[in-house]
Amino acid sequence: QSVLTQPPSVSAAPGQEVTISCSGTSSNIGNNYVSWYQQLPGTAPKLLIYDNEKRPSEIPDRFSGSKSGTSATLGITGLQTGDEADYYCGTWHGGRRVFGTGTKVTVL
Amino acid sequence: QVQLVESGGGVVQPGRSLTLSCAASGFIFGHYAMHWVRQAPGKGLEWVAVIAYDGSNIYYPDSVKGRFTISRANFRNTLYLQMNSLRPEDTAVYYCAREEYGEYYFDNWGQGTLVTVSS
């Protein structure tokens, strides 16, 4: 039921960089802000990025967000083993909220 | 600190009903829109319902519309989700999440409560 498409998985070695794409349409991402959530194994999701590119104060600047047209991107630099998690993008349309399909990040 | 604590999950037979609760503390509950989000075992996140800070606006996705009802009691700092005509595909961990008025992201989540629909 997800209307936002993400790659199922990405991986990189410690210290490297990964990017996760989130593809939508003009009805959702194209006209609204995007947020990103990190879900560590066995835990609840946690807000990582909001309003396309803003970070809550407790989130390190290794995490970044951007948006262009109907797509958004999450970047993680200086990859750490603790970053192994599922990542979801989210936005809204007509009062309803939608999530991406989710991407599993693996640190090799 | 902000706390959201869900309760009410359990095992229920198909076609039966269940009501979930989410107790909020550490913030002015009546100032925030509240959501329910679920996650089936091994699957991604699915948004389930939203209720405005004052209960004036409510939305659902088609998958639960007509079966689920979200409500809130601001004087009790509590959010509810009444789930009727439950189906096996409603089996999931149900999270409540907070959204600041005028914003469109979930800035705090509860730990979740598991609902299993099975005969």
Note the pLDDT tens digit of each residue in A11-46.
999 999 999 999 999 889 999 999 999 999 999 999
Q: Are strands A85-93 and A71-76 parallel, antiparallel or unpaired?
A: unpaired
Q: How confident is the model at residue A3 (pLDDT cuts 50, 70, 90)?
A: confident
Interface test with B, best of A47, A97, A101 (most B CBs within 10 A): A97
Please answer whether residues A95 and B57 qualify as being in contact, where contact means their C-beta atoms are separated by less than 8 angstroms. Answer: yes
CB contact under 8 A, B47 and A98: yes
Beta pairing class for B108-109 and B3-7: unpaired
**B47 in contact with A, Cβ within 8 Å:** yes
CA-to-CA dists, residue B72 to B21, B52, B58, angstroms: 9, 9, 11
Partner-chain contact B111 A44, CB within 8 Å = yes
User: Nearest CA to A76 among B18, A68, A85, B22?
Assistant: A85
Tell me whether A91 touches chain B (CB under 8 Å).
yes
Cβ–Cβ < 8 Å for A24, A71: yes
Pairing status of strand B78-83 against strand B92-100: unpaired
pLDDT, one tens digit per residue, over A63-102 is 999 999 999 999 999 999 999 999 999 999 878 899 999 9
Q: What percent of chain B has pLDDT over 70?
A: 100
* Chain A interface includes B110 (CB < 8 A): yes
**Cβ of A31 under 8 Å from any chain B Cβ?**
no
Please tell me the distance from the alpha carbon of residue B98 to that of residue B100, in angstroms, as a whole number.
7
